[in-house]
Structure formats: structure tokens, C-alpha cells
């Protein structure tokens, strides 16, 4: 029967230009490797969720805005691509603000 005795992981961040960088890594050996792995990975998950919750700046090269305004389908799933209407975005932001006030 195999018993877990160690682990190793690497956290890599990649931006929209496909540039990547190693953010952190961890190597551990010991009889409590499973517990240590769960503790570490849950901590990393919180960091990643916090990082992803901040809006990123949209990076556009010359000509990208024109292409963005003309696109009609998602380049990943090929499904229809609907752009948000500014009035709807404003209403969603207001609803989000109201929910945050209620939560507090």
C-alpha cells in the first residue's frame, strides 16, 4: 500500500499576453504531507481568489479596439458574443454595491 510521504507544487501566473512567471513553489517531505499540502493549497487558493477579484487593465494593440467592436462570436467557444450595455452594467454595479452594504 502506497503512503503519501511528500509533495511539490509550483504556482505560475500568466497574463493576457501569455507572459508567465513563477509566483511561488513548495516542496515538502514528511509523514503529514497530505495535511500540509491541504493547508498550503487552501492558503494559495485564497491568495489566487483575491488576486483574480481585482479587475485587470485591458491591454490592446493598435487595431484591437476596432476588431473588438466588430466581433460577433467568442474565439474560444465560438458562441455568440454579447457586449454589455452601459446602462445594464451600471445597474449591476448598483446591485453589487447594495448587496455589499447588506452583507456588512
Q: Please, are residues 5 and 28 in contact by the beta-carbon 8 Å criterion?
A: no
Question: For the chain, what are the domain ranges?
Answer: 1-56, 60-104
pLDDT digit string (tens) for the chain, length 104 residues = 888 899 999 988 887 678 889 988 999 999 999 999 999 999 888 888 888 888 777 778 888 888 888 888 888 888 887 767 778 778 888 888 888 888 76
Rounded CA gap, 46 and 68, in Å?
A: 32
Please write down the HEC assignment for all residues of 29-73: ECCCHHHHHHHHHHHHHHHHHHHHHCCCCCCCCCCHHHHHHHCCE
Amino acid at each position: 500500500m502506497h503512503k503519501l510521504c511528500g509533495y511539490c507544487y509550483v504556482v505560475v501566473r500568466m497574463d493576457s499576453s501569455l507572459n508567465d512567471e513563477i509566483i511561488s513553489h513548495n516542496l515538502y517531505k514528511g509523514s503529514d504531507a497530505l495535511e500540509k499540502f491541504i493547508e498550503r493549497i487552501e492558503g494559495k487558493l485564497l491568495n489566487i481568489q483575491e488576486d483574480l477579484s481585482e479587475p485587470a487593465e485591458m491591454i490592446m494593440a493598435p487595431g484591437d479596439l476596432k476588431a473588438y467592436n466588430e466581433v460577433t462570436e467568442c474565439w474560444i467557444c465560438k458562441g455568440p458574443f454579447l457586449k454589455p450595455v452601459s446602462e445594464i452594467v451600471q445597474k449591476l454595479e448598483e446591485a453589487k454595491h447594495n448587496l455589499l452594504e447588506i452583507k456588512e
